[in-house]
Amino acid sequence: MSMSAYLSGRRLLRSVKIILICSFLTFLSLGCSPKTQIVLLPDPDGKVGRLELTNPKGAQTLDQPWQSAEVVSPDKAPSEPKIMEEAEVRSIFREALAAQPKPSVTFLLYFQRQSTEPTAESLKLLPDVLESIKSHESTDISVVGHTDSTGTADYNLGLSLRRARRIADILVSKGVDPAIIEIDYFGKEKPLIEKPQGVPEPRNRRVEITVR
């Protein structure tokens, strides 16, 4: 009897918990020793996370793309990791691959200085944002406001909130359910481009929209 688990390089801790719970439930319901296979997949950009497999008998680390290990039972240490062929992984896990949600997409909209109005170029991205929301059948959208470092901390914090609300209002006016939009804001605290205090930077005057 086997149970296969499919992991991407993101949200690994949450995924590992799910695997351990599923393994435990399989022991209880089947009364036999299932085999759990774990494969670490690269993100779309080729990066991978790091996954620690541990039980009372030993531990193994997965930190390379397409690296795999097996857990047979709590009485045996996880198997030595091995690299699997991508084609083999896609064949074994084809059902899981077909069922997985689309990866999240992030859009950056930039703003005029000390303003809640997006630049003309950024406004042109809105159709792509709306199409992504539709294609993902999204129920989870984050809208996060930012500023550059000109102005006081309090002013920038308020401005970043107003920018985020401005974009959220635009999305709602285009038919997006406000209940699925989460707004956050950080003022000048999380710049894309590091600049000395008080130096304008257009790329830091932004709202990040993430569609999941």
Percent of the chain at pLDDT > 90 equals 65
Task: Count up the domains in the chain and report the number.
Answer: 2
Q: What is the DSSP string of 146-181?
A: ---SSS-HHHHHHHHHHHHHHHHHHHHHTT--GGGE
165-211 pLDDT, tens digit per residue, is 999 999 999 999 999 999 999 999 999 999 999 999 999 999 999 99
One domain, residues 36 and 76: yes
One domain, residues 152 and 197: yes
One domain, residues 87 and 109: no
Q: Please, which residues have CB within 8 angstroms of residue 26's CB and are 6 or more apart in sequence? A: 1, 3, 34
At residue 44, does pLDDT exceed 50?
yes
d(CA 127, CA 108): 13
Q: Which two tokens stand for residue 38?
A: 């774990």
One domain, residues 112 and 82: no
Q: Which range marks the domain in which residue 30 is found? A: 2-98
Confidence of residue 140 (pLDDT cuts 50, 70, 90): very high
Q: What is the CATH number of the domain that holds 199?
A: 3.30.1330.60
pLDDT at 48: 85
One domain, residues 49 and 122: no
Q: Which of 53, 69, 98 delimits the end of a domain?
A: 98
Residue found by looking up tokens 């129920």 in the block: 139
At residue 5, does pLDDT exceed 80?
no
CB 119 within 8 Å of CB 110: yes
One domain, residues 206 and 115: yes
One domain, residues 136 and 205: yes
pLDDT at 3: 39
One domain, residues 188 and 146: yes
Q: Which two tokens stand for residue 13?
A: 């801790």
64-91 pLDDT, tens digit per residue, is 999 999 988 889 999 999 999 999 988 9
Nearest to 183 by CA among 175, 191, 172: 172
